[in-house]
Amino acid sequence: MTDLEHSICTKLEGVFAARGFTAPGVAELRKGADVSLRTLYKYFPSKEDMIIGALEVRHRRYLSLLKEATETAPQDRLTAILSTIEHWMQTNAPHGCMDRAALSAYPESEQVSQCVTRHKQETQDQLAALLGLQHKAGELFLIHEGAVSTYPLNGSEVFSWAKSAILSLTQETAS
């Protein structure tokens, strides 16, 4: 992805975060991306391509933050990861997961579905690897998705629940 594409995607992400995926038309997206219509369509020939570009930039940033969290606090990776996810939800996703919102807005889109599926698999793989719980990747991912999905309703308390559930997994594994 070029610097220009990345810039466009980052700005599109802001529009989609503020307005959702169905409300903004191409004119609003062009204005939000701060490029000409020709440039927007050159890199993103359809609205679905614009959505996927925005989701891709967002997802890469999320995975990068998770990895950075474990590098800055290697002695307590679990707390570092959960604190990072909590901060992400507070600042980037107070209304929930944008991947899920895109899938809800475009349920028939094969492109969006493949993008979200890949993102979810990459998140599962990275969380399991960072915590050394590859043998419990599915369970760990279910806890992650539950915390992210219920955050808009229950707030930060979900991360205490998630930590408790993950610690139960690790104790179960040790037994």
- The structural domains of the chain, ordered by start, are 3-174 (1.10.357.10)
How does residue 172 score in pLDDT terms, banded at 50, 70 and 90?
confident
Q: 59-105: per-residue pLDDT in tens? A: 999 999 999 999 988 889 999 999 999 999 999 999 999 999 999 99
Rounded CA-CA distance 78/66 in Å is 10
What pLDDT does residue 171 have? 85
pTM for the predicted model, two decimal places: 0.94
